[in-house]
Structures are given as C-alpha cells and as structure tokens.
C-alpha cells in the first residue's frame, strides 16, 4: 500500500538522519514505541500524526517535515511498537486488527504519544490530530473519546463507528477528506458518517475528490492522484491555520 518516495527506498532510520527532527523512544504500559518529533520552534502548535497500517515509515516522516516547514511541530506516533513496521499484508491486518478489537489500547497509545510529545517540549495544549487510512480511523477514535483537541483530520481514513460508540463527547472540528472512487470505504460510509456527525451536533467539514481511490495521497503509488493530494493538503493547511490560530 505504501510506495517508494523516489527511485530509492528510504528506511525510517535514513529519513531520520536526513530530517531536522529526531526519533523518540517512549513507553506505553511497559512496551517500547518509536515515534518521530520535529518542530521549527518551541512555541509551535502541534500536529499529532497517526500512521497507516504499515506503521511509522518514511511517508509519515515526509509529511511531518512538510508540516514543520509550514511552522508546525509534529509528533508522528507509533501505534505498533518499536521496530514493528509490517510489510506483508497478513502482518498489517494482524496489527491493525488487534487495535480495532482493543479500542481502549488504541486510545491509550495515542494519549501515550501525546505524553511523549509533551516530554519533548511540544505545545500539547494546542493540537490537531491527523491520520492516513488506518490512522484516519484512529483519529476518529480519538475524537469519540472526547480528547480535548482543536481539531481532527482524516485522509482516506476508515469512517465507521464501532457498536456502542458515538460522538457525544467529541470536541473540536472534524475534517474528513475522502476519495469518491475509494473501493474500500464507500460513499455510503461517507454519507453515514455525515448523518451521524450532524445528528450529534459535531462541527465538521467533509470533502470528496472525484476519481480519487483509496490512498490517493501516497506518493508514487498506483493509487496516487496528484490533484486530489494537492487539494486535500491545501485544505488541511487552511484547517490547521483556522483551528490552531497560528
């Protein structure tokens, strides 16, 4: 699902050497995780970035650097564990499946990442959470938990609400960016979320991009759609400015 960022595949470690940011090892409930932190200044508002189903890779590092160049601090969380970066489809399904079945753990891991960001000096009182694919679904989980954040943004993320959950505790505006040609998450799923958010009185903005399949932002992949990527990133940038007031 993830493609090369260029002719040569870059490992997470090599990206960390090249970037201005740094790897951050931290623990949640006794288990080690390795995130990535970058910030242009101590007072920069924070983006909590949640990875896709192949773990924290060069893709999230690239996005974190793009956000840092725009003036934001970024903590790219690790929800799988230090050194766990699955490449096989079965492994990706296993790691995401475990968290889908244990929503409390998923929430704890994101809150643990926020604690790790705080320990790095990040401004965790002014945060937007954003995620891609699996990370988008995780961001919506964080929103439903009532996390006191300025906003939540998803790119081609999972949109379903687990049985027994709702958005009654959600704070902060939601920005949902979705490909109309997504074969994994349908427009019916998209519409159902819109109905749910409206019924719950949650501030939200939902955008579809015509012809864009699942994972339309992934550089170099067959699914990549340049226009949809650029449009969604432009809206995300404006959303950050609106919600974080920076």
Q: Record the tokens describing residue 109, joined without a space.
A: 């891991």
pLDDT for the residue numbered 20? 79
* 4, part of any domain: no
- Please determine, for residue 23, whether its predicted confidence score (pLDDT) is greater than 70: yes
* 159, part of any domain: yes
* 5, part of any domain: no
DSSP string, 155-212: ES------TT--STT--SEEEEEEETT-SSS-HHHHHHHHHHHHHHT--EEEEEETT-
The pLDDT of 15-24, averaged and rounded, is: 66
The pLDDT of 28-46, averaged and rounded, is: 97
Residue 27's pLDDT band, with cuts at 50, 70 and 90, is very high
pLDDT for the residue numbered 153? 98
Query: What digits encode the pLDDT tens for the residues 151-200?
Result: 999 999 999 999 999 999 999 999 999 999 999 999 999 999 999 999 99
Query: What digits encode the pLDDT tens for the residues 44-71?
Result: 999 999 999 999 999 999 999 999 999 9
pLDDT for the residue numbered 37? 98
pLDDT for the residue numbered 2? 38
**What is the number of other CB atoms lying within 10 angstroms of the CB of residue 188?**
9
* 33, part of any domain: yes
- Structural domain harbouring 33: 14-244
* 3, part of any domain: no
Query: What digits encode the pLDDT tens for the residues 91-136?
Result: 999 999 999 999 999 999 999 999 999 999 999 999 999 999 999 9
* 8, part of any domain: no
Residue 245's pLDDT band, with cuts at 50, 70 and 90, is confident
pLDDT for the residue numbered 12? 42
User: What CATH number did the domain enclosing 240 receive?
Assistant: 3.40.50.1820
* 240, part of any domain: yes
* 35, part of any domain: yes
pLDDT for the residue numbered 18? 37
**What is the number of other CB atoms lying within 10 angstroms of the CB of residue 132?**
27
Provide the domain count of the chain: 1
> For 144, left (φ over 0), alpha (ψ -120 to 50), or beta?
alpha
């Amino acid at each position: 699902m993830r493609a090369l960022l260029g002719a040569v595949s870059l490992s997470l470690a090599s990206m960390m050497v090249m970037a201005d940011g740094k790897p951050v090892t931290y623990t949640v409930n006794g288990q080690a995780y390795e995130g990535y932190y970058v910030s242009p200044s101590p007072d920069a508002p924070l983006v909590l970035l949640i990875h896709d189903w192949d773990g924290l890779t060069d893709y999230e590092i690239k996005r974190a650097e793009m956000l840092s160049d725009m003036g934001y601090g970024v903590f790219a969380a690790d929800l799988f564990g230090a050194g766990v970066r699955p490449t096989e489809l079965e492994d990706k399904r296993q790691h995401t499946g475990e968290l889908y079945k244990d929503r409390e753990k998923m929430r704890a891991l994101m809150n643990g990442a926020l604690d790790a960001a705080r320990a790095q000096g990040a401004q965790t009182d002014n945060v937007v959470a954003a995620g891609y694919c699996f990370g988008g679904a995780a961001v919506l989980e964080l929103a439903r938990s009532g996390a006191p954040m300025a906003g939540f943004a998803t790119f081609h993320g999972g949109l379903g609400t687990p049985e027994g959950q709702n958005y009654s505790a959600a704070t902060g505006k939601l920005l949902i960016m979705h490909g109309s040609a997504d074969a994994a998450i349908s427009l019916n799923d998209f519409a159902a979320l819109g109905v749910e958010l409206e019924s719950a009185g949650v501030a939200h903005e939902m955008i579809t991009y015509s012809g864009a399949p699942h994972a339309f932002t992934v550089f170099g992949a067959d699914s990549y759609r340049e226009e949809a990527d650029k449009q969604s990133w432009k809206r995300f940038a404006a959303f950050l400015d609106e919600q974080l007031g920076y």
